[in-house]
Homo-oligomer: A and B are copies of this chain.
């Protein structure tokens, strides 16, 4: 080995290590999933969701053509339903007003598929005409509600404890088809975690064992 051998070997090692670090960083950056940022605006034009719901109910089964005249288009509503149907383990819902039958079908479908669905809603709105809360309860979905004079006005969903769907949209056909509304879908923990915590706080606070019932005089 020449006297210059050691410095050359050291340089070679430094160059190799630096090149390897750069390569690892580049591969990590390339492989890192891009953060999810989807923004949906409403009103959403009417569309047929039968194929989407049928595929979610029986993946791979041939879908029967739906006789309804609505187009099978990609709309804000179909995108919202697709995000919900991506749930594999849990769906935590905090929905002020819930009267849209299509969204109720999607939630029921997830419940039947074994996804743990928990639903918090507003006591004053859950009994209104057209509310889907009774139907969802009847299907065996856990529902809790407030007992306050203020509204439980949130409208958010958390899919598999890692995707947040939130915005101005109540889950009503009126809101979906007629209102100017927004829904934001994100998956970064800095947004999802506080909403998860808020959900758990509300879920415990609205535990039926805490409900207060007025005394009835005989």
Contact = CB atoms under 8 A, between A and B. Distances in A.
B180 A150 contact: yes
Query: How would you classify the secondary structure of chain A's contact residues: helix, strand, loop or mixed?
Result: mixed
Interface residues of A, number: 51
A58 to B, nearest CB: 34
Number of copies: 2
A209 interface: no
A142 interface: no
A2 B3 CA distance: 11
A149 B168 contact: no
A151 interface: yes
A146 interface: yes
A70 interface: no
A39 interface: yes
Interface string A104-117: 00000000000000
Nearest to A37: B190
B168 A182 contact: no
Nearest to A8: B8
Interface in A143-198: 146, 148-156, 166-169, 174-175, 177-182, 184, 186, 188, 190-191, 194-195, 198
Contact of A18 (B18, B43, B156, B194): B18
Contact of A15 (B14, B152, B166): B14
A19 interface: yes
Given A8-B11, A11-B15, A22-B21, A179 B153 contact: yes
B153 A181 contact: yes
A109 B198 CA distance: 33
22 contacts: A7-B8, A8-B8, A8-B11, A11-B11, A11-B15, A14-B18, A14-B19, A15-B15, A18-B21, A22-B22, A25-B25, A35-B190, A37-B191, A94-B180, A150-B177, A151-B175, A152-B180, A154-B168, A154-B181, A156-B182, A166-B182, A184-B191
